[in-house]
């Protein structure tokens, strides 16, 4: 599995830990920054990761900012991306099983590093259920173009 990862200054330390953890597990990980705790705009990193997932250069993406909210909003602007903000283990699994999410967002100022790594493991290890009702709902998400 190829995973794109990125963060802003508020998620930098969690991103670094997640990147190392995934690499140690044998995943191919591309880091889109940021590369320090210097203030920067989360939007720029979120777009790079989300577009990489949309263009199928990566199977999934992980984004971390202070709360995870900004990254989630920005990533979901990219057609084909189903980003979910996750801060607990149940949601990490459910969002993959039921929503086939392809981008995970978390808040570096909301959860500790240990929980972020556990959420990451559950999220990357959980496959979409392919249950008819969930596939139908994901199809509606994918085909909605707004009015």
Known active-site residue 65: yes
Pick the catalytic residue from 9, 98, 134, 143.
98
Let me know: does 94 contact 36? Beta carbons within 8 Å. no
Residue carrying the six token digits 């998400």: 141
Pick the catalytic residue from 14, 65, 87, 134.
65
Q: Which tokens in the block code for residue 126?
A: 């959980």
Distances (CA, A) of 85 to 23, 25, 28, 36, 38: 22, 23, 22, 23, 23
Helices (H) and strands (E) in the chain, counts: 6, 5
Residue 94 carries which DSSP code? H
Known active-site residue 14: no
Q: Which residues form the catalytic set?
A: 65, 98
């Amino acid at each position: 599995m190829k995973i794109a990862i990125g963060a802003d200054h508020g998620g930098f330390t969690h991103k670094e830990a997640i990147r190392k953890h995934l690499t140690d597990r044998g995943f191919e990980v591309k880091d889109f920054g940021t590369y320090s705790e210097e203030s920067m705009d989360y939007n720029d990193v979120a777009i790079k990761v989300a577009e990489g997932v949309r263009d199928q250069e990566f199977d999934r993406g992980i984004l971390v900012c202070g709360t995870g909210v900004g990254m989630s909003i920005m990533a979901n602007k990219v057609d084909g991306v189903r980003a979910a903000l996750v801060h607990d283990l149940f949601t990490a699994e459910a969002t993959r099983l039921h929503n086939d999410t392809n981008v995970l967002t978390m808040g570096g100022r909301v959860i500790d590093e240990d929980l972020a790594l556990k959420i990451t493991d559950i999220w990357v290890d959980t496959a979409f259920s392919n249950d008819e009702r969930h596939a139908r709902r994901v199809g509606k998400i994918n085909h909605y173009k707004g009015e």
